[in-house]
Structure 1
Amino acid sequence: MKTFYLAALLTITSGLLFTFSHSIIKQVNYIGPDIHPLEIAFFSNVFSALFYLPIIIKSNFGILRTDKLSKHVSRAFFNSGALTCFYTALVLTELADVIALSLTGPIFVTLGALIFLGEVVTAKRWLAIIGGGIGAFIIIRPGFEEINLGLLFVLLSAGFAAGSKLFAKKLTETDSAVTCSAYVAILQCPITFVAALFFWLPPTLTQIFCLMCIGVLVAGAHIFWVQAYKYAEVSALEPFWFLRLIWAAIIGWLFFSEIPDTWIFVGGAMVVLASTYIARSEVKQNNFGANQLLH
């Protein structure tokens, strides 16, 4: 049980760091020329990779030893797609709206865990999928509101992120959290750089500083995120990502004068309540301990 709570704390901390980085992404284009999301993703990856450089050197490149390089590359492509789509959504849409719809992530992760990892999906977890789908419908409200292109990018991002999380789950069976995080940061650099060249604009010094902060926050968030999956199942930890909606609403209101629509909270709350209940039920039903949570 203590192991599960540790995993939950790591997930919550990771979500908070990611939310701070998202708020800085929105700020970047307020203080200089409009940088394309692909370029933001590239700089974020560069500074994340630099964050790991002292760790890599200190270990004499030991943390880069792996027998699963192809899986790390695959994860980097999935994560690059998720980052680019998500950053695009942040530029086009209010922060709370983006985070609220990104709560549909458990739908993609749970289905992916069932299909690709062979994890058992109980009736209660299927209930989470249904609840998440209804919540997403309320947030988007097709037919009642004009479809925001940014929200479609959020759904694409959620699909890519689910693939990244499933690869992370398998990789942590043999590789450390730092190894997984370092590889995804390093490998994403050439991937996003090639794509960003088509939209390149020189950033200002202030923007470069903001991009550096994004990279450091993302690097730290990835370490906590991947480490959490060493102690609990992917689908059991997903509900704790939902606290990001609260962080996003507060930050959006304080720094961007964004007042979320009431329906954003209604849809988000449906997903939060349903999935949190399911996660707690799974813990009680299975009486999770260290042996069951470590993979």
Structure 2
Amino acid sequence: MVLNPEKTLLTRRQFITQLSALGLLPLFSGCEAIFSKPLSIAAHAWPGYEFMFLAMRENWLDKNQVALIETRSATDSLQKLKAGQADGAALTMDEILTARSEGVALSIVSIFNISAGADMLLAFPGINRLTDIKGKRIGVEEGSVSSLILHKALEAADLSSTDIIKVPLTIADHLDAWKNQQVDALVTYEPVASQLLADGAVKLFDSRSTPNLIVDALAVRTDRLKVSYRQAIMHLIEAHFKGLYHLNTNPQDASYRMAKHLNLPPKNVLNAYKGLVLPDLINNHRLLSGNKPVLLESATHLNKVLLQIGKINRSDTLNNLIDSSFLPTIL
């Protein structure tokens, strides 16, 4: 006998309705997640993002739900987003606003860190004052947070971009450029910064002078904030907080486990976090939740700065920029 599929197969809605009646819908939801692709998140080596990688290495992160794509720089992460090769990325808020201005709709679902000294302008010995960078070769990763730091440093020195020679460099090339003396100074960040400081670099400017301006966040494509990825996003955020909790409760063990990936000696890992504020779950809710999230005020100011310096060509409405619904509930 030949079966007629139109008469014998249930529609998806009928199937779910019957499962619900039988009390099996939660089981089906789990199966649906299995058959969907893992949430793909692009991220480069940076202390604030390291808890995700720690969770992956310690198997706290379910690879069937989340796939971390390690990149060489923020520029690479942005390129993967633009090419549709990633569902989200770990980026600074200015990078997120820049991507949105270029047509990549992103929403912030959690905050990794706020930079309070970890992003900096370093120079070779002999260049001891900020004004000394005039006419010098400055390595900077254009399109990333580094260009924002450079803008603020030049502003503090009462200089303009025409007073220096920009040398485009991604973070992956900073160490080689320094060792080969291809630059006189670098806008860089941890963990590279610690290595350069140990090599005698002079710190001229850092993000302590730009409070609440540099915020690293987990940004997900707005069209991915659907039921099929909801569990994966929440799982990733929980894994990050588990890694952060491990650092706070067992810093020596965490330092040992993170050292290799950060390319730092274990004894130097904690120093890499000295210039960072690491918001826990409560503070993530404080910054992201409510009708007027605290972060929205910083985003509004940053939006104006980026427009002023030409990093974006139109003001962002900031609609759908923040979605705190994926944060774990505070018990």
TM-score normalized by the length of structure 1: 0.23
Comparing both structures, which one devotes a greater share of its residues to helix?
A: 1
Comparing both structures, which one devotes a greater share of its residues to strand?
A: 2
Query: More relative contact order in 1 or in 2 (CA 8 Å, sep 6+)?
Result: 1
TM-score normalized by the length of structure 2: 0.21
